[in-house]
Structure 1
Amino acid sequence: MTSSYHRFINGLTASHGLPQPRKPAPAVEISLHFHDQANRRPGFVLRTSNRSKLCVVKAAGQGGVWRRSEGGKEGAADKVGPCSYAVGDVVEKRKSSEDRRMEVVIAAAVTVVMGVGNRVLYKLALVPLKQYPFFLAQLATFGYVVVYFSILYIRYHAGIVTDEMLSMPKGPFLFVGLLEAVAAATGMAAGAILSGVSIPILSQTFLVWQILLSVIFLGRRYKVNQLLGCFLVAIGVIITVASGSSAGHSLKEAGIFWSLLMIFSFLLQAADTVLKVEIIFLDAAERLKGGSVDLFVVNSYASAFQAVFICLLLPFLSKLWGIPFSQLPNYLRDGAACFLNIGTLSSGCDGAPLLPLLFILVNMGFNISLLHLLKISSAVVSSLASTFSVPISIYVFTLPLPYLGVASSLPTSFVAGAIVLVLGLLIYAWTPRNVSSTSACSSSTE
């Protein structure tokens, strides 16, 4: 017990700028002591080996203080000396740090689960809408605007969203919407040419862009173990996705232009997340005086501006999907009939509208959980959580899922890739703890 308190007190001195001893300090004796006998409030007595000084740490109540007495007399502890320090604040900080770390872990786990569900349900949703993928994309885009603003309206009247949050400058949201719209357009253009195997491989450049943009614009500095962990995560995903496939040949066959266009799409997505951290969240903390902007404020306005730019890009997007712009109204009408599973066009639309609706709901939950994780951690952590869902999704597709027919077998190299990925996550999360050997109370005389 004594050694653990030594480490606790030594850590306080090093990390919070307490006065450092001008000469080697004597050993500190720690004993349990009832400082207030009337109320039986416990405290800890820290006494130097020569008993010339005494520090009493009040454990009861908030804002406990360090006090010093001369000659080992506890009665003289009313005079605040050089050892004075607000212990309650430090203990509260440590508890808050542990709670925040646990919150990040839970948020990351939820993001991984939602990410897996998002990838699997997207494939299932395209079973009934296999002829109308463009309709599903537009339904999700404009559906988000309605749902997000409806939730925002409810939260505003519940007092969760304030007028100060709604009055934030809309310029950053407009830029976020533009980035998301252009990223979707370029991603859809490249995705129409590239194979399904090559897209997850190229998506690992997203993690690289996250790190580079975080260093440039957020001023973040990453340790060697974090960079190594990110590298191993990317390698692990590439191994799991490319196992047993001709991914390299597929990339070569598609051509360098479409590969670069897909990489550019992920650059825009990475810039989008960094923009949310650097401008929106940090600006909100300053404007709200340390407060936090509600996630639905960000999602609602970003989705609204994205929908606006999607409308402006409709001629371009329809051409990417091979739909003449003049025939777009008929295409959307037929897609709606298949989605609702009604009329003569509903043949082959089994599973609608349940599967598409499930995908939209889970995709919405994934976006919210990813944005929440981004808000409480960093862009790289949120990217790692999203990346971790890729091999799990591949494994889920080996299970007998409805509407997908016979399940595919799991390649043997998948396990090797998964091991590399998990190892990368562990290396990234590992943080060595440095224990200071500095003494808590200076024994030098004034």
Structure 2
Amino acid sequence: MLLEKYSSVCVLQSFLVWQLIFSALLLGKTYSMRQIIGCFLVASGVILAVASGANDGQFLSEVKFVWPALMVASSAFQAGASILKESVFIDGAKRLKGRRPDIFVVNSFGSGFQALFVFLLLPILSNLRGIKFAELPAYLNGGAECFLNVDDSLIDCGGAPFLPLLFILVNMAFNIALLNLVKMSSALVASLTATSAVPISIYILSLPLPYIPHGAKLSSSFIVGAVVLLMGLFIYNLPQSSKKQSKTE
């Protein structure tokens, strides 16, 4: 299971490539070779860091080609959504005479449509997981019992409701900070910053923490990946000439 999670994280680094493409096509931005190299170094650093936890097999060795390809294609929609949010802030600044739209307004519309499509696709998604539509209420009820840590729940829900609430709060703070970064800079810069959180998260989870009593020893591959990632961020954010400042990120 861990190998599958590591592999999926690596495949999803194609998100940065999609952002570069959509930013150039939809927003008309141009990027220098230095910035492109920086983006690829960041993605490569994450792959190296994440790969350090998968020593029991080769990445995607037993996975059909269609599933990684599907993940790469699906990341295009998320990348397109982030570029559209950036375009909303840019267009809003023009319409509001320099003032940018409120991040909570933009986020509310995005979250609202996300919830709507999840609700509409719920019957299809549940069927793909082998869950009949008629059984969904029982699963939702079980999830609510686990969230509230009801005593008669048949599921081991240790840490609830503290851990789920903590996750919600941290996730909200992370997304608000990320959207504010999109507002102040660009979607690509926000993604590069968020990508750097992957090795940081791995490092934190390797420590002996409450509910995670057994720590983990990080390999040299993780250190190398983290260094490559930081090099990519540094290269991307190097100062550039004023002539290109208005067109590049």
TM-score (norm 1): 0.51
Report the CA distance shift for 1:354/1:213 in structure 2 as closer, same or farther (over 3 A).
same
Once residues 57 and 18 of structure 2 are traced to their aligned partners in structure 1, the CA distance between those partners, rounded to angstroms, is 22
Percentage of matched positions with identical amino acids = 52
- Aligned residue among 186, 207, 226 for 2:16: 207
Question: Is 1:264 matched up with 2:73?
Answer: yes
Partner of 2:83: 274
Decide which of 202, 226, 232 is 1:424's aligned counterpart. 232
Counterpart among 189, 195, 207 of residue 381 in structure 1: 189
- Amino acid across the alignment from 1:379: A
SS in 2 for 1:197: helix
Structure 2: which 5+ residue stretches go unaligned?
243-249
Decide which of 30, 51, 59 is 1:221's aligned counterpart.
30
Change (3 A) 1:347 1:424: closer
SS at the partner of 1:195? helix
Pick the aligned partner of 2:110 from 299, 302, 307.
302
Measure how far apart 1:417 and its partner are.
Answer: 1.1
Q: Which has the higher contact order (CA 8 A, sep 6+)?
A: 2
Kindly state the Cα deviation for residue 347 of structure 1 after the two structures are TM-superposed: 5.6
Which is richer in helix? 2
Aligned partner letter, 1:216: L
Post-superposition CA distance 1:79-114 (Å, at most 9, x none): xxxxxxxxxxxxxxxxxxxxxxxxxxxxxxxxxxxx
Q: After TM superposition, which residue ranges in structure 1, 4 or more long, deviate above 4 angstroms?
A: none
**Change in CA separation of 1:196 and 1:361 when aligned onto 2, cut-off 3 Å:** same
After superposition, give the CA deviation of every residue in 1:155-190 in whole Å (9 maximum; x if it has no partner).
xxxxxxxxxxxxxxxxxxxxxxxxxxxxxxxxxxxx
Deviation per CA, 1:42-100: give whole Å up to 9, x if none.
Answer: xxxxxxxxxxxxxxxxxxxxxxxxxxxxxxxxxxxxxxxxxxxxxxxxxxxxxxxxxxx
What does residue 101 of structure 2 align with?
293
- Does the 8 Å contact 2:10/2:46 carry over to 1? yes
How many angstroms does 1:384 deviate by?
Answer: 0.5
- Closer/same/farther in 2, CA of residues 241 and 303 from structure 1, 3 Å limit: same
Per-residue deviation, 1:319? 2.4
Q: Is 1:357–2:165 an aligned residue pair?
A: yes
Structure 1: runs of 5+ lacking an equivalent: 1-191, 435-446
Aligned length: 241
| 1:74-153 matched pairs, under 5 angstroms | none
Larger proportion of strand: 1
Tell me how large the CA RMSD over aligned residues is.
Answer: 2.0
Equivalent residue, structure 2, for 1:159: none
Tell whether the 8 Å contact from 1:198 to 1:247 is kept in structure 2 after alignment: no
Matched to 1:386, the amino acid is A
Larger-Rg structure: 1
1:19-34 equivalence runs, <5 A: none
User: Partners of 1:320 and 1:283 in 2: how far apart?
Assistant: 39
From 39, 42, 47, give the equivalent of 1:238: 47
Superposition deviation, residue 389 in structure 1: 0.5
